[in-house]
Structure 1
């Protein structure tokens, strides 16, 4: 379910954010749970090394509590801010394949690919 905007109806986000959707990410040499994700970026549990510039990551779907390492999607991201015990990152760039995977894993896309249905 996407996060709702502020109480006054204003929201700084361009894209709806979805709760983790069971996604995992390998970043900074650590495997981390995705707390929230949108077409523009993701919020992760902290505890991994942050870089000053672009950081490489691989995003993995999960099914029945198991990570599907055969269908991970790599990309680049940049640090945006700390949000308590979480780190907000923006995709840099938000590639078509990455945004498509986010849409499929959150149920926002029209049809999931086969890796989500087996």
Structure 2
């Protein structure tokens, strides 16, 4: 079962986290905002049904409220934990095209 409680991000983080920078993800049949992303996974706003096991997703860049569906990248992820209004997902696997896309669409987090 995934962790329900918040843990120290500094202790468990393997990769730097970046702001979602307007990234949107289609997951569980819903389009939701990406709150944070790293080479290992992403933190999403809740609002979609989480499945047991791997879930397919597609990340899209967005700007000024418009989602660019022509430049998305897909993959698989699994639930890590619930963080209040957010859901942490781990990429399974974290592919090169996925990590490259995330790096091109993000800015460094200030924490």
**Cα distance in 1 between the residues matched to 2:11 and 2:20:** 19
Matches within 5 A, 1:87-102: 87-102=87-102
Q: What runs of 5+ residues in structure 2 fail to find an aligned partner? A: 1-7
Matched residue SS, 2:93? coil
Provide the rounded CA distance (Å) in 1 between the counterparts of 2:60 and 2:75: 11
Structure 1 runs of 4+ aligned residues shifted over 6 Å read: none
TM-score, normalization: structure 1? Answer: 0.80
**Are positions 1:63 and 2:63 aligned together?**
yes
User: Does residue 13 of structure 2 align to residue 22 of structure 1?
Assistant: no
Give the Cα–Cα distance (whole angstroms) in 1 for the partners of residues 36 and 67 of structure 2.
17
Aligned Cα root-mean-square deviation (Å): 1.6
More strand by share: 2
Q: Residue 104 of structure 1 corresponds to which residue in structure 2?
A: 104
Higher RCO, 1 or 2 (CA under 8 Å, sep at least 6)? 2
Q: State TM-score, norm by structure 2.
A: 0.85
